Amino acid sequence: MISELLINAFLVTIMLSIAIALIKTRTVIFTVILTSAYSLVAALMFITLDAVDVAFTEASVGAGISTILFLAAMAYLPKKEEESISSEFIPALSCIILGGILIWCSYDLPEIGQVTAPIHQHIAPEYIRGSKEDIGIPNIVTSVLASYRGYDTFGETIVVFTAGVAVLALLQKKDPTKKNKSQPKQKIRKNA
Amino acid sequence: MISSTIGIWNYWIVFCLMMIGLFLVIGRKNFLKKIVGLTIFQTSVFLLYITFGKIKGGTPPILNETIDSIYSNPLPHVLILTAIVVGVATTALGLSLVLRINTEYGSIEEDDISAQDLVDYHDDIETGKSVDLKFKQ
Protein backbone atom coordinates (compact mmCIF):
# COMPACT_ATOMS: atom_id res chain seq x y z
CA MET A 1 0.00 0.00 0.00
CA ILE A 2 2.81 2.38 0.87
CA SER A 3 4.37 1.96 -2.58
CA GLU A 4 1.21 3.34 -4.20
CA LEU A 5 1.45 6.44 -2.06
CA LEU A 6 5.17 6.78 -2.78
CA ILE A 7 4.53 6.74 -6.53
CA ASN A 8 1.85 9.38 -6.00
CA ALA A 9 4.16 11.56 -3.95
CA PHE A 10 6.89 11.26 -6.61
CA LEU A 11 4.57 12.17 -9.51
CA VAL A 12 3.03 15.11 -7.69
CA THR A 13 6.52 16.43 -6.92
CA ILE A 14 7.34 16.28 -10.64
CA MET A 15 4.22 18.37 -11.23
CA LEU A 16 5.45 20.90 -8.69
CA SER A 17 8.80 21.23 -10.46
CA ILE A 18 7.05 21.73 -13.81
CA ALA A 19 4.91 24.46 -12.25
CA ILE A 20 8.00 26.20 -10.85
CA ALA A 21 9.62 26.04 -14.30
CA LEU A 22 6.44 27.67 -15.64
CA ILE A 23 6.94 30.62 -13.30
CA LYS A 24 10.56 31.01 -14.44
CA THR A 25 10.15 30.77 -18.20
CA ARG A 26 9.42 33.84 -20.32
CA THR A 27 9.26 32.19 -23.73
CA VAL A 28 5.80 31.35 -25.01
CA ILE A 29 6.69 28.05 -26.71
CA PHE A 30 8.26 26.71 -23.49
CA THR A 31 5.16 27.77 -21.59
CA VAL A 32 2.90 25.83 -23.96
CA ILE A 33 5.07 22.70 -23.89
CA LEU A 34 5.38 22.76 -20.10
CA THR A 35 1.60 23.07 -19.79
CA SER A 36 1.21 20.01 -21.99
CA ALA A 37 3.74 18.06 -19.90
CA TYR A 38 1.92 19.13 -16.74
CA SER A 39 -1.35 17.70 -18.08
CA LEU A 40 0.34 14.44 -19.06
CA VAL A 41 1.84 13.93 -15.59
CA ALA A 42 -1.58 14.76 -14.14
CA ALA A 43 -3.04 11.99 -16.31
CA LEU A 44 -0.45 9.56 -14.88
CA MET A 45 -1.47 10.63 -11.38
CA PHE A 46 -5.11 9.94 -12.21
CA ILE A 47 -4.20 6.38 -13.25
CA THR A 48 -2.42 5.68 -9.97
CA LEU A 49 -5.41 7.15 -8.12
CA ASP A 50 -7.76 4.65 -9.86
CA ALA A 51 -9.50 7.25 -12.03
CA VAL A 52 -8.94 5.65 -15.43
CA ASP A 53 -11.75 7.51 -17.22
CA VAL A 54 -10.48 10.83 -15.95
CA ALA A 55 -6.92 9.96 -17.00
CA PHE A 56 -8.13 9.13 -20.49
CA THR A 57 -10.01 12.42 -20.80
CA GLU A 58 -7.18 14.47 -19.31
CA ALA A 59 -4.62 12.95 -21.69
CA SER A 60 -6.75 13.52 -24.78
CA VAL A 61 -8.52 16.77 -23.93
CA GLY A 62 -6.21 18.42 -21.39
CA ALA A 63 -2.89 17.51 -22.96
CA GLY A 64 -4.11 17.24 -26.56
CA ILE A 65 -6.80 19.73 -27.47
CA SER A 66 -5.67 22.45 -25.03
CA THR A 67 -2.14 22.28 -26.44
CA ILE A 68 -3.49 22.56 -29.98
CA LEU A 69 -5.55 25.61 -28.95
CA PHE A 70 -2.52 27.22 -27.30
CA LEU A 71 -0.30 26.52 -30.32
CA ALA A 72 -2.92 27.93 -32.70
CA ALA A 73 -3.29 31.10 -30.61
CA MET A 74 0.50 31.37 -30.20
CA ALA A 75 0.93 31.86 -33.96
CA TYR A 76 -0.77 35.27 -33.77
CA LEU A 77 0.74 36.48 -30.51
CA PRO A 78 4.12 37.93 -29.46
CA LYS A 79 6.69 35.20 -28.89
CA LYS A 80 8.24 36.66 -25.76
CA GLU A 81 6.75 37.71 -22.50
CA GLU A 82 7.90 41.11 -21.26
CA GLU A 83 9.19 41.70 -17.77
CA SER A 84 6.51 43.56 -15.87
CA ILE A 85 7.38 46.95 -14.46
CA SER A 86 5.20 46.69 -11.38
CA SER A 87 6.38 44.68 -8.43
CA GLU A 88 5.23 41.10 -8.01
CA PHE A 89 5.76 41.21 -4.28
CA ILE A 90 2.16 41.70 -3.10
CA PRO A 91 0.63 38.93 -5.29
CA ALA A 92 3.40 36.53 -4.22
CA LEU A 93 2.94 37.38 -0.55
CA SER A 94 -0.83 36.91 -0.66
CA CYS A 95 -0.42 33.57 -2.47
CA ILE A 96 2.10 32.37 0.13
CA ILE A 97 -0.18 33.39 3.01
CA LEU A 98 -3.21 31.69 1.45
CA GLY A 99 -1.17 28.56 0.71
CA GLY A 100 0.08 28.49 4.31
CA ILE A 101 -3.47 28.65 5.61
CA LEU A 102 -4.54 25.82 3.27
CA ILE A 103 -1.60 23.62 4.34
CA TRP A 104 -2.42 24.34 7.98
CA CYS A 105 -6.01 23.21 7.35
CA SER A 106 -4.80 20.04 5.60
CA TYR A 107 -4.10 18.46 9.00
CA ASP A 108 -7.88 18.19 9.44
CA LEU A 109 -8.35 16.34 6.16
CA PRO A 110 -8.63 12.53 6.24
CA GLU A 111 -5.48 10.70 5.16
CA ILE A 112 -5.40 9.49 1.58
CA GLY A 113 -7.14 6.19 0.96
CA GLN A 114 -8.99 5.65 4.21
CA VAL A 115 -12.25 3.76 3.83
CA THR A 116 -13.72 5.56 6.83
CA ALA A 117 -13.46 9.01 5.20
CA PRO A 118 -16.83 10.80 5.03
CA ILE A 119 -16.80 10.96 1.23
CA HIS A 120 -17.09 7.17 0.97
CA GLN A 121 -20.08 6.88 3.30
CA HIS A 122 -22.90 8.82 1.73
CA ILE A 123 -24.03 8.04 -1.81
CA ALA A 124 -21.17 6.20 -3.51
CA PRO A 125 -22.17 2.74 -2.15
CA GLU A 126 -25.66 3.31 -3.60
CA TYR A 127 -24.18 4.07 -7.01
CA ILE A 128 -21.90 1.03 -6.90
CA ARG A 129 -24.82 -1.26 -6.01
CA GLY A 130 -27.29 0.35 -8.37
CA SER A 131 -24.99 0.40 -11.37
CA LYS A 132 -25.36 -3.35 -11.75
CA GLU A 133 -28.95 -3.80 -10.59
CA ASP A 134 -30.67 -0.72 -12.03
CA ILE A 135 -28.66 0.13 -15.07
CA GLY A 136 -26.58 -2.91 -15.94
CA ILE A 137 -23.43 -1.13 -17.10
CA PRO A 138 -20.19 -2.50 -15.65
CA ASN A 139 -18.42 0.87 -15.75
CA ILE A 140 -19.84 2.74 -12.76
CA VAL A 141 -18.52 6.10 -13.93
CA THR A 142 -20.47 5.80 -17.18
CA SER A 143 -23.69 4.87 -15.44
CA VAL A 144 -23.42 7.75 -12.98
CA LEU A 145 -22.46 10.20 -15.74
CA ALA A 146 -25.18 9.26 -18.17
CA SER A 147 -27.97 8.17 -15.89
CA TYR A 148 -27.84 9.23 -12.25
CA ARG A 149 -26.32 12.63 -12.98
CA GLY A 150 -27.48 13.06 -16.57
CA TYR A 151 -28.56 16.63 -15.92
CA ASP A 152 -24.96 17.57 -15.12
CA THR A 153 -23.86 16.26 -18.49
CA PHE A 154 -26.69 18.16 -20.15
CA GLY A 155 -25.55 21.36 -18.44
CA GLU A 156 -21.98 20.68 -19.56
CA THR A 157 -23.16 20.40 -23.16
CA ILE A 158 -24.91 23.78 -22.84
CA VAL A 159 -21.73 25.34 -21.42
CA VAL A 160 -19.60 23.99 -24.27
CA PHE A 161 -22.16 25.20 -26.83
CA THR A 162 -22.23 28.69 -25.28
CA ALA A 163 -18.43 28.84 -25.27
CA GLY A 164 -18.35 27.80 -28.93
CA VAL A 165 -20.84 30.51 -29.91
CA ALA A 166 -18.87 33.09 -27.92
CA VAL A 167 -15.58 32.09 -29.59
CA LEU A 168 -17.19 32.38 -33.04
CA ALA A 169 -18.63 35.80 -32.18
CA LEU A 170 -15.26 37.04 -30.93
CA LEU A 171 -13.17 35.77 -33.81
CA GLN A 172 -15.45 36.57 -36.74
CA LYS A 173 -14.02 38.77 -39.46
CA LYS A 174 -15.20 42.35 -39.47
CA ASP A 175 -17.66 43.38 -42.16
CA PRO A 176 -15.46 44.98 -44.90
CA THR A 177 -18.22 47.38 -46.04
CA LYS A 178 -18.14 49.13 -42.66
CA LYS A 179 -15.49 51.69 -41.98
CA ASN A 180 -12.68 50.05 -40.11
CA LYS A 181 -12.54 52.03 -36.91
CA SER A 182 -10.12 50.00 -34.93
CA GLN A 183 -6.71 50.03 -36.47
CA PRO A 184 -4.11 48.54 -34.18
CA LYS A 185 -2.89 51.51 -32.25
CA GLN A 186 0.73 52.38 -32.25
CA LYS A 187 2.72 50.64 -29.64
CA ILE A 188 3.92 53.13 -27.10
CA ARG A 189 6.90 52.86 -24.91
CA LYS A 190 6.34 51.54 -21.43
CA ASN A 191 7.32 54.69 -19.58
CA ALA A 192 4.93 56.81 -21.65
CA MET B 1 5.18 9.63 11.28
CA ILE B 2 6.48 8.92 7.78
CA SER B 3 3.28 7.22 6.69
CA SER B 4 1.15 10.06 7.99
CA THR B 5 3.36 12.58 6.18
CA ILE B 6 3.03 10.57 2.96
CA GLY B 7 -0.70 10.43 3.69
CA ILE B 8 -1.13 14.18 3.41
CA TRP B 9 1.87 14.97 1.16
CA ASN B 10 -0.41 15.00 -1.88
CA TYR B 11 -2.57 17.68 -0.28
CA TRP B 12 0.42 19.89 0.45
CA ILE B 13 1.78 19.74 -3.07
CA VAL B 14 -1.67 20.21 -4.55
CA PHE B 15 -2.13 23.35 -2.44
CA CYS B 16 1.29 24.61 -3.62
CA LEU B 17 0.23 23.97 -7.24
CA MET B 18 -3.00 25.90 -6.66
CA MET B 19 -1.06 28.84 -5.28
CA ILE B 20 1.36 28.79 -8.24
CA GLY B 21 -1.65 28.90 -10.57
CA LEU B 22 -3.19 31.75 -8.59
CA PHE B 23 0.13 33.63 -8.66
CA LEU B 24 0.36 33.27 -12.44
CA VAL B 25 -3.18 34.68 -12.73
CA ILE B 26 -2.82 37.67 -10.40
CA GLY B 27 0.94 38.35 -10.51
CA ARG B 28 1.84 38.14 -14.19
CA LYS B 29 0.84 40.85 -16.65
CA ASN B 30 0.94 38.71 -19.79
CA PHE B 31 -2.56 37.54 -20.73
CA LEU B 32 -1.40 34.20 -22.21
CA LYS B 33 0.44 33.44 -18.96
CA LYS B 34 -2.71 34.25 -17.03
CA ILE B 35 -4.65 31.64 -19.01
CA VAL B 36 -1.88 29.09 -18.44
CA GLY B 37 -2.22 29.90 -14.73
CA LEU B 38 -5.94 29.18 -14.91
CA THR B 39 -5.18 25.78 -16.49
CA ILE B 40 -2.68 24.95 -13.73
CA PHE B 41 -5.20 25.94 -11.07
CA GLN B 42 -7.91 23.81 -12.68
CA THR B 43 -5.76 20.72 -12.97
CA SER B 44 -4.66 20.97 -9.33
CA VAL B 45 -8.30 21.18 -8.21
CA PHE B 46 -8.98 18.04 -10.28
CA LEU B 47 -6.11 16.30 -8.49
CA LEU B 48 -7.54 17.29 -5.10
CA TYR B 49 -10.93 15.80 -5.95
CA ILE B 50 -9.51 12.57 -7.33
CA THR B 51 -7.27 12.24 -4.26
CA PHE B 52 -10.37 12.37 -2.05
CA GLY B 53 -11.94 9.51 -4.02
CA LYS B 54 -9.02 7.08 -3.65
CA ILE B 55 -9.35 4.05 -1.38
CA LYS B 56 -6.25 2.12 -0.29
CA GLY B 57 -6.05 -1.15 -2.20
CA GLY B 58 -9.08 -0.21 -4.26
CA THR B 59 -9.54 -0.90 -7.95
CA PRO B 60 -10.89 1.38 -10.66
CA PRO B 61 -14.68 1.52 -10.40
CA ILE B 62 -15.46 -1.03 -13.08
CA LEU B 63 -17.59 -3.96 -11.90
CA ASN B 64 -15.75 -7.25 -11.83
CA GLU B 65 -17.38 -10.60 -11.04
CA THR B 66 -14.27 -12.73 -10.71
CA ILE B 67 -12.41 -11.03 -7.90
CA ASP B 68 -14.01 -9.64 -4.80
CA SER B 69 -12.66 -6.12 -4.74
CA ILE B 70 -13.31 -2.74 -3.20
CA TYR B 71 -13.91 0.08 -5.65
CA SER B 72 -12.63 3.63 -5.41
CA ASN B 73 -15.33 6.30 -5.15
CA PRO B 74 -16.76 6.92 -8.66
CA LEU B 75 -18.54 10.20 -7.85
CA PRO B 76 -15.49 12.55 -7.94
CA HIS B 77 -14.44 10.92 -11.20
CA VAL B 78 -17.77 11.85 -12.77
CA LEU B 79 -17.64 15.43 -11.52
CA ILE B 80 -14.08 15.88 -12.80
CA LEU B 81 -14.90 14.38 -16.20
CA THR B 82 -17.45 17.16 -16.59
CA ALA B 83 -15.03 19.77 -15.25
CA ILE B 84 -12.22 18.85 -17.69
CA VAL B 85 -14.42 19.47 -20.71
CA VAL B 86 -15.75 22.72 -19.27
CA GLY B 87 -12.15 23.75 -18.54
CA VAL B 88 -11.18 23.35 -22.19
CA ALA B 89 -14.20 25.45 -23.19
CA THR B 90 -13.02 28.18 -20.79
CA THR B 91 -9.48 28.01 -22.21
CA ALA B 92 -10.78 28.37 -25.76
CA LEU B 93 -12.92 31.38 -24.80
CA GLY B 94 -10.02 33.02 -22.95
CA LEU B 95 -7.62 32.47 -25.84
CA SER B 96 -10.05 34.00 -28.32
CA LEU B 97 -10.44 37.03 -26.03
CA VAL B 98 -6.64 37.37 -25.95
CA LEU B 99 -6.48 37.18 -29.76
CA ARG B 100 -9.15 39.89 -30.04
CA ILE B 101 -7.27 42.12 -27.58
CA ASN B 102 -4.10 41.59 -29.60
CA THR B 103 -5.77 42.76 -32.83
CA GLU B 104 -7.21 45.84 -31.09
CA TYR B 105 -4.16 46.95 -29.12
CA GLY B 106 -1.22 45.18 -30.76
CA SER B 107 -0.07 43.90 -27.40
CA ILE B 108 -1.11 41.40 -24.73
CA GLU B 109 0.76 43.00 -21.85
CA GLU B 110 -1.53 44.54 -19.25
CA ASP B 111 0.78 47.52 -18.61
CA ASP B 112 0.89 48.42 -22.33
CA ILE B 113 -2.86 48.20 -22.68
CA SER B 114 -3.69 50.35 -19.68
CA ALA B 115 -1.10 52.94 -20.83
CA GLN B 116 -2.76 53.10 -24.25
CA ASP B 117 -6.16 53.51 -22.64
CA LEU B 118 -4.83 56.34 -20.48
CA VAL B 119 -3.37 58.14 -23.52
CA ASP B 120 -6.69 57.81 -25.36
CA TYR B 121 -8.56 59.17 -22.36
CA HIS B 122 -6.39 62.27 -22.16
CA ASP B 123 -6.61 62.82 -25.93
CA ASP B 124 -10.38 62.78 -25.65
CA ILE B 125 -10.34 65.33 -22.87
CA GLU B 126 -8.00 67.66 -24.79
CA THR B 127 -10.06 67.57 -27.99
CA GLY B 128 -13.15 68.34 -25.95
CA LYS B 129 -14.90 65.13 -26.91
CA SER B 130 -17.33 63.79 -24.36
CA VAL B 131 -15.57 60.93 -22.65
CA ASP B 132 -18.71 58.88 -22.28
CA LEU B 133 -19.08 58.47 -26.04
CA LYS B 134 -15.90 56.50 -26.15
CA PHE B 135 -17.44 53.75 -24.10
CA LYS B 136 -20.76 53.77 -25.95
CA GLN B 137 -19.43 53.09 -29.43
- CA–CA distance, B9 with A95 (Å, rounded to integer): 19
Q: Taking the mean position of all CA atoms in its chain, how far away is CA A183?
A: 35
B61 touches chain A (CB under 8 A): yes
pLDDT tens-digit readout, A1-38: 677 788 888 898 999 999 999 998 889 999 999 999 99
Chain B residues closer than 8 Å to A53 by CB:
77, 81
- CA–CA distance, A115 with B69 (Å, rounded to integer): 13
- Does this model's pTM top 0.95? My answer is no
pLDDT (average), residues B125-132: 69
- CA–CA distance, A129 with B63 (Å, rounded to integer): 10
The residue of chain B nearest to residue A63, with distances taken between CA atoms, is B88
| Residue B28 DSSP symbol | -
Chain B residues closer than 8 Å to A24 by CB:
none
- CA–CA distance, A188 with A185 (Å, rounded to integer): 9
pLDDT (average), residues B6-23: 88
Chain A residues closer than 8 Å to B109 by CB:
81-82, 84
Query: A77, B99: Cβ pair inside 8 Å?
Result: yes
Tell whether domain B2-106 is in CATH 1.25.40.10.
no
More confident of the two residues B6 and B89: B89
A36 touches chain B (CB under 8 A): no
Query: A9, B9: Cβ pair inside 8 Å?
Result: yes
- CA–CA distance, A128 with A122 (Å, rounded to integer): 12
Question: How large is the ipTM?
Answer: 0.85
Residue A145, CA distances (Å) to A122, A137, A184, B60, B77 in order: 18, 11, 46, 15, 9
* Domains observed in chain A: 1-81 (1.10.287), 122-173 (no CATH)
Query: B88, A61: Cβ pair inside 8 Å?
Result: yes
B85 touches chain A (CB under 8 A): yes
Domain layout of chain B by residue ranges: 2-106
